Structure 1
């Protein structure tokens, strides 16, 4: 569930793992591999396997090991794509359910924010243990029980919604969302370790993870809007939970056996190097700046997901289906933007420009969604849609460009590509979940204390802070690194400059990319 639950977890991108340079040196080998490395998708921290079946039929390099040959012959259709939309459906469906409870049970925005926040808290707590759990129990069981528990939680929520009182239902909502967050994290992490075993892809290969996730978000929003319009959420809870229980038995049957793939979770191969490099990497200004941008973007996306529904219903007089169309527009905009920006970054476009553009677009989107009426811009359907499009555009752009910058910053590390992928994933996932948790809890309270337009103004300040930090990072990199160029990337240069501290470089021959 990395990077994305409903745009929050959304969670990412799958990284290329195999360096086959056919006789080239180690540095040239890393450069060639990282050139093909894909960028982060807007609301998922892991990525995927979309590409033609012809790619799996390519000849295996002569020096490739027998085990690598087995790994590279995994057919894309055998990957764990089917479980990706499950939690996305539940997350976006529950967004509409919380909106309905605002009137039916007298809930507040703070309560809805806390329920989503407890979900993110469960994710944050279980993340350090998820790799060990998958290593012990296997990826198939992790996927099965992860999706199964989420389905059971929703079925029980359906019964509780019908029979439990207000206080009991609120308590059960907290408990079930906590369990769903923990178990769906295991399922997503198991999917990630399996996807790591797939062969390298082209610039659009991550779409098979992003598209199912976004499809789940759109379908969940549609189910939630339909249930809200029919005022029958308890039946929808039960039906959705039963469907997920069925999926939990079907999906593992299509997964490759653990013995057929290198899960890359042993302490010797990835865990210890990741911990060591992660500690050193966070001392780099580029990594810390990227973490701030990811956290701020996730915080604002949580704010949009949890508050825009009631705002559109009350202020703009939308019906539930129009609210669903707004969410679908947001997710579709993010998908298209991620594809375009990811391809451009792979072809040498400077991530720093995309990062700044993304932050500015998010500011513009929040302005049109919230405080526009304070500047004599009348609230209307067109203004709201403009804000949603601008925010989706900015969110996807900033996430993709941040990941591209982190890839270039860490690519000269003298570790395997798998280990570097683990470092980038750890940085972005923790930042994303932390930002989502803060956004759920903080803006839920703000929406109750002040008007929605005022809370939108407050949500703009973290973005301004991230933009200021990024500007300082660019200035620092320009003055300290003696950059060859800030906006052009040549075929031989794999990043835009190097930052050396006063006591020497933190990482050997480390090069840093300004945000």
Structure 2
């Protein structure tokens, strides 16, 4: 979920040293920064700990998708409920991250990073024994409880990670934002793939035990490798409420939330749709990584187009239109005279991955440019933090609503009709973006 937006953050940080330079020049300067100020051994060890933690968090949060819905069905838990079980993780991150950020003024972020990894790892391992609980109510309560604690652990780690990173690497911020994003993306790909394979080999408990243990080891690695640091002094930032009171900013928030909404929707519902094709857990896990893989491959292309040729808002419009095409055929929509076919699902997921990359990158760039150039916010760290926090919260909100609403829709109207609801959201977003752009904004 966080990995998809963090790569856009790398565009922000180089503006601290380039003043009136382009806001999108950080990719060109990343290697120059590395050559100017070499990374020390201390920093290399710190980077290993942060990268490993990002990988483990992403792998553990994504590993349930290929087989947990089927386990819920066996326990008599409805799709509405297990959609909420998926979504509660994001809701906890959304609410807990600001709290942890405020506490860094008094407690070292290292403590939250190490304890967050340990908590998330323990809860992941415990999630692997849920199949032994026969009572559906007990199963549901424990699943919710474990996901809540896992989300709190992930929030503690992620908030700490992106606080420690600029403190320890002040000369390499833009490059390392992108690097940590890469490791998070790898985790999102490995999670469902390896999780499905481990499920086939050793049953329900095996993927949770293996990947959860890897995360616990990440906590120990962090204790050993991370340099000690003190509390972080909080600087005053612009009002979030005032920042959101702008149509352009709200449209960017809506665009970003829509991307994670779609990812969360498929996490809770796609496995149910794929059952008709009689696929193994490993194959289902492979299908789940298609969208993220395409996103990762096409993201640099959209970034270059936005940097040199394309207006960011028109790129958002193009990405939304591409997503609409993918959603039309993913089910496919009920009003199309086409029966569900596996190859059609795969092609649709590829199309959606392309559209998501365009939307995510362009909405972030549009929001940043608008905030500084049109709205007159200062070109400084507090503004970058405000834009990043707003977009991060948009991702969490979308990732919570996607599986929560998706699980409910799956249980009431079925997968094909459910995709039409998400399709309607994308069409509404497209209309609003086009109107805003045509009105001269």
TM-score with structure 2 setting the length = 0.89
Q: Given the superposition, is the C-alpha separation of residues 371 and 429 from structure 1 closer, same or farther in structure 2, using an over 3 Å criterion?
A: same
1:13 aligned residue = 9
**By how many angstroms is 1:460 displaced?**
0.5
CA distance in 1 between counterparts of 2:72 and 2:16 reads 56
Corresponding residue number in structure 1 for 2:310: 349
Q: Provide the residue aligned with 1:296 in structure 2.
A: 258
Deviations 1:414-450 (A, max 9, x none): 5352111111112112212112222221111100111
Q: CA deviation at 1:72?
A: 10
- Conserved? CA contact 2:89–2:150, under 8 Å: yes
Note the C-alpha offset of 1:217.
1.3
Change (3 A) 1:415 1:256: farther
- Mark the CA change 1:12 to 1:251 in structure 2 (over 3 Å): closer, same or farther: farther
- 1:216 matched to 2:187? The reply is yes
- The answer to whether the 8 A contact 2:34-2:172 is kept is no
Residue of structure 2 in register with 1:135 after alignment: 105
Offset at residue 33 of structure 1 (A): 6.1
Aligned runs of 1:25-36 on 2, under 5 Å? 29-32=18-21, 34-36=23-25
Larger Rg: 1
* Inter-partner Cα distance in structure 2 for 1:332 and 1:200: 30
Distance 1:34 1:76 in 2: 28
**The residue matched to 1:96 in structure 2 has which SS?**
coil
CA distance in 2, matches of 1:377, 1:424: 42
Residue of structure 1 equivalent to 2:233:
266
Output aligned runs, 1:179-258, within 5 Å: 179-197=149-167, 198-199=169-170, 206-230=177-201, 232-258=203-229
CA distance in 2, matches of 1:280, 1:425: 15
Secondary structure of the residue aligned to 1:473 is helix
1:411 paired to 2:372: yes
Distance 1:252 1:3, change over 3 A: same
- Aligned with 2:395: secondary structure? helix
Aligned to 1:90: 60
1:324/1:16 CA distance change after superposition, 3 Å:
same
Sort the Cα spacing of 1:12 and 1:414 in 2 relative to 1 into closer, same or farther, 3 A. Answer: closer
Return closer, same or farther for 1:329/1:300 CA change in 2, 3 Å cut-off. Answer: closer
User: What corresponds to 1:78 in structure 2?
Assistant: 46
CA deviation after TM superposition for structure 1 residue 366, in Å: 1.2
- The answer for the alignment partner of 2:269 in structure 1 is 307
Inter-partner Cα distance in structure 1 for 2:6 and 2:233:
26
On the 8 A contact 1:56/1:75 being kept in 2, the answer is no
Q: In structure 2, list runs of 5 or more residues that go unmatched.
A: none
Q: Is contact 1:119–1:177 with CA below 8 Å preserved after alignment?
A: yes
* Residues in 2 aligned to 1:72 and 1:402: alpha-carbon distance in whole angstroms: 35
Shift of 1:284: 2.4
RMSD, matched Cα: 2.9
State the alpha-carbon separation in 2 of the partners of residues 15 and 258 from structure 1: 26
RCO (CA 8 Å, sep 6+): is it higher in 1 or 2? 2
Q: Give the direction of change, closer, same or farther, for the CA distance of 1:297–1:124 in structure 2 (3 Å limit).
A: same
Where does the alignment leave 5 or more consecutive residues of structure 1 unmatched? 22-28, 39-49, 61-70, 479-513
- Residue in structure 2 matched with residue 175 of structure 1 by the alignment: 145
Counterpart-to-counterpart distance in 2, 1:410 and 1:287: 8
| Aligned counterparts of 1:397 and 1:239: Cα–Cα separation in 2 | 35
**What is the deviation of 1:396?**
1.5
Check 1:132–1:364 CA distance in 2 against 1; reply closer, same or farther (3 A cut): same
Residue of structure 2 equivalent to 1:286: 248
Q: Which moved more, 1:173-182 or 1:362-371?
A: 362-371
Distance 2:206 2:410 in 1: 29
By how many angstroms is 1:317 displaced? 2.9
Q: Does 1:147 align with 2:117?
A: yes
Instruction: Indicate conservation of the 8 Å contact 2:127/2:143, yes or no.
Output: yes
Contact 1:153–1:179 (8 Å) recurs in 2: yes
Report if the CA contact (8 A) 1:357-1:397 is conserved. yes
Instruction: Please give the alpha-carbon distance, in whole angstroms, between the structure 2 residues aligned to 1:55 and 1:243.
Output: 32
Partner of 1:466: 429
Q: 1:203 to 1:372 in 2, by over 3 A?
A: farther
Query: Any conservation in 2 of the 1:96–1:228 contact (CA below 8 Å)?
Result: no
Cα 1:76/1:399, change in 2 over 3 Å: farther
Higher helix fraction (1 or 2): 2
Q: Structure 1 221/3 Cα, relative in aligned 2: closer, same or farther at 3 Å?
A: same
Distance, in Å, in 1 between the alignment partners of 2:16 and 2:247 is: 31
